[in-house]
Amino acid sequence: MGRAKKAKRVKLFFALLGRPDFIERGRGMLAERFGPEEMAGPVWDFQNTDYYQREMGGRLKRQFVVPTGMIDPGELAKTKIVTNKLEDELAKAGRRRLNIDPGYLNDNKVVLATTKDYAHRLYLGQGIYAELTLMFRRGAYQPLEHTYPDYRSEEYGCFFSELRRAFLVARDKESRR
């Protein structure tokens, strides 16, 4: 019989989607609530879907930001609830101007939080689901059948590989304490 044990800590990140001015405002709000940034990815054009266009307009950008430190993966649902409130604070007339999706990374996976239920998502509680988005295999993060098109890109793969290296260093430092 297996024994329950404490989860290993993971690296939290945020995927921000919106116009550059709202991404900057969101980064400031995230830093206030989750601490200073350890790293930020490039700002990419978001052209993989028009899903957000009606609500948020065109010419959207995507940027990943990573706060310092690590978290217990059990905090993901609570974190998504906080980011939903931040989105609401920036909304105008009921329309979001920034989308903030928290996720976490460890040595073998990238997980995203969402409010949408699908067959490949697991319920975490409080109306929040987790999606296994990428798996680390053969030296790189690999997409799955349901992985969003932008998360399949080489650019995102490079970012997550860099974040994985930072995670492994942080994990090793924590384990020596």
The reply to whether 28 falls in a domain is yes
The reply to whether 61 falls in a domain is yes
* Owning domain of residue 99: 11-175
Contacts of 63 (CB under 8 A, 6+ apart): 15, 16, 23, 27, 40, 41, 42, 43, 44
b/e per residue 46-76 (b: at least 16 CB within 10 A): beeeeeeeeebeeebbbbbbbbeebbebebb
The reply to whether 3 falls in a domain is no
pLDDT digits (tens, 9 = 90+) for 104-136: 999 999 999 999 999 999 999 999 999 999 999
pTM: 0.94
pLDDT digits (tens, 9 = 90+) for 4-22: 999 999 999 999 999 999 9
Cβ of 162: how many Cβ atoms within 10 Å? 13
Top-confidence range, 55-59, 131-135, 168-172: 131-135
- Please report the pLDDT score of residue 51 as a whole number: 65
Total structural domains within the chain: 1
The reply to whether 5 falls in a domain is no
The whole-chain average pLDDT of the chain stands at 93
* Cα 34–Cα 37–Cα 41 angle in degrees, nearest 5: 125
